[in-house]
Amino acid sequence: MSSQLEQFASDNSSGICPEALEYMIRANQGSVPAYGNDEWTQKATDYFRELFEIDCEVFFTFNGTAANSLSLAALCQSYHSVICHETSHIETDECGAPEFASNGSKLLLAQGKNGKLTSEAIETIVTKRTDIHYPKPKVISITQSTELGTLYSIEELLSIKEVANKHNLKVHMDGARFSNAVAAMNKSPAEITWKAGVDVLCFCGTKNGMALGEAILFFNKTLAEDFDYRCKQAGQLASKMRFISAPWLGLLETGAWLKNARYANQCAEYLENQLLNIEGVDLMFPREANAVFVKLPEEVIHSLKAKNWQFYTFIGVGGVRFMCSWNTTQSRIDELISDIKNATIDKN
């Protein structure tokens, strides 16, 4: 590899954290039953139930697109629709997989400040049309933390659930950075999921220090009927399931899932503070987890790319996302800040 320096494009760029790797190595000893009929998988699923304080159904997939798409498909018929924010990952970054998995369930897009759905926006979409020619709303999908790095408060979640109950809708949570949300809010996982009205959570392990692997938690167990068959049909039933579930157990048993998230959030806070000290750098959205969105002059963006810095600019011209992870270092942040400062001086 020509360069293995830390980057800020995504927490997917980081490697495997020590706890996840250690448990994967332990699981590599000897032979165990396949397809999830092993002790590692049983222990991991039981730990999820303990952590979330509920007897939920737990399934594992390889990645987040599959987790989101299959769980939404379990909540919808093909003639139903899913209400989501216009910046949601299921709308912008999953290549139509939710529609594909559900045989055509339509995504209905809503706007909302800082990447968040509101109960008012949901109400407007649900009541827009009720005739048979329009796909019937069936699910509300929210992301915690959002694609813009913000957080739904418990009050906001309860408000959304109130609308969901009113219109008989299910609530799906894309938890790509759920660990970061728990760490930032200082609330229990239960408080910001099923106790606040969430029916299904897709809990990401990949961005929190695993090589791969997502956990799908059905808090409403009746919704999970035949979901194992759905995973199998979609090619998401791992034959050597222990290599997904054991790293999960490593994160959960050791507390690394929360430690990693807290650290990533702290790094993002440090990065934010350093960026705000640079003239001409403006924050785009409130930093509430491990993502920092800023507006940078085009000349500065080009200068950073010329120095091989990796980051995303998908929000729009001048919009840059810097993402911190479990293994971000302050020294690397300082290098980034130095290059931004120098590019700003050169511009002026």
- pLDDT, one tens digit per residue, over 87-145 is 999 999 999 999 999 999 999 999 999 999 999 999 999 999 999 999 999 999 999 99
Residues 6 or more apart whose Cβ sits within 8 Å of residue 265: 180, 183, 184, 289, 290, 324
Q: Can you count the helices (H) and strands (E) in the chain?
A: 13, 10
Least-confidence region, from 31-45, 169-183, 333-347: 333-347
Burial 106-122 (b: 16+ CB within 10 A, else e): bbbbbebebbbbbbebb
CA dist., res. 170 & res. 52, Å (int) = 19
Burial 271-309 (b: 16+ CB within 10 A, else e): bbebbeebeebeebbebbbbbbbbbbeeebbebbeeeeb
**What pLDDT, on a 0 to 100 scale, did the predictor assign at position 347?**
65
pLDDT of residue 3 exceeding 90, the answer is: no
User: Between the CA of residue 281 and those of 88, 96, 247, 268, 294, what are the distances in Å?
Assistant: 25, 35, 39, 15, 7
CB 200 within 8 A of CB 67: no
**What pLDDT, on a 0 to 100 scale, did the predictor assign at position 344?**
87
pLDDT of residue 4 exceeding 90, the answer is: no
How long is the chain? 348
Collapse the DSSP code of 185 into the 3-class scheme (helix H, G, I; strand E, B; otherwise coil) and give the result.
helix
Q: Please provide residue 154's backbone torsions phi and psi, each rounded to the nearest 5 degrees.
A: -60, -35
pLDDT of residue 232 exceeding 50, the answer is: yes
Report residue 280's pLDDT band, with 50, 70 and 90 as the boundaries: confident
Residues 6 or more apart whose Cβ sits within 8 Å of residue 169: 83, 122, 126, 137, 138, 139, 140, 163
CB 109 within 8 A of CB 137: no
CB 67 within 8 A of CB 205: no
Mean pLDDT across the chain: 95
Show the CA angle centred on residue 325, arms to residues 260 and 49, nearest 5°: 40
Collapse the DSSP code of 141 into the 3-class scheme (helix H, G, I; strand E, B; otherwise coil) and give the result.
strand
**What pLDDT, on a 0 to 100 scale, did the predictor assign at position 348?**
63
Residues 6 or more apart whose Cβ sits within 8 Å of residue 123: 163
CB 168 within 8 A of CB 139: no
**What pLDDT, on a 0 to 100 scale, did the predictor assign at position 108?**
98
**What pLDDT, on a 0 to 100 scale, did the predictor assign at position 49?**
98
Residues 6 or more apart whose Cβ sits within 8 Å of residue 288: 145, 149, 150, 151, 184
Report residue 243's pLDDT band, with 50, 70 and 90 as the boundaries: very high
For residue 62 the two structure tokens come to 């390889």
Report residue 1's pLDDT band, with 50, 70 and 90 as the boundaries: very low
pLDDT of residue 324 exceeding 60, the answer is: yes
Report residue 54's pLDDT band, with 50, 70 and 90 as the boundaries: very high
First to last CA, the chain: 36
User: Between the CA of residue 127 and those of 108, 134, 178, what are the distances in Å?
Assistant: 12, 11, 30
Give the β-pairing of 170-175 and 200-204: parallel
Reference 158, options 183, 176, 179, 140; nearest CA is 140
**What pLDDT, on a 0 to 100 scale, did the predictor assign at position 314?**
74
Q: Please provide residue 2's backbone torsions phi and psi, each rounded to the nearest 5 degrees.
A: -75, -30
**What pLDDT, on a 0 to 100 scale, did the predictor assign at position 288?**
98
Q: Mind listing the pLDDT tens digit for each residue in 137-193?
A: 999 999 999 999 999 999 999 999 999 999 999 999 999 999 999 999 999 999 999
CB 140 within 8 A of CB 169: yes
pLDDT of residue 317 exceeding 60, the answer is: no
CA dist., res. 199 & res. 191, Å (int) = 13
Q: Mind listing the pLDDT tens digit for each residue in 196-216?
A: 999 999 999 999 999 999 999
CA dist., res. 42 & res. 56, Å (int) = 13
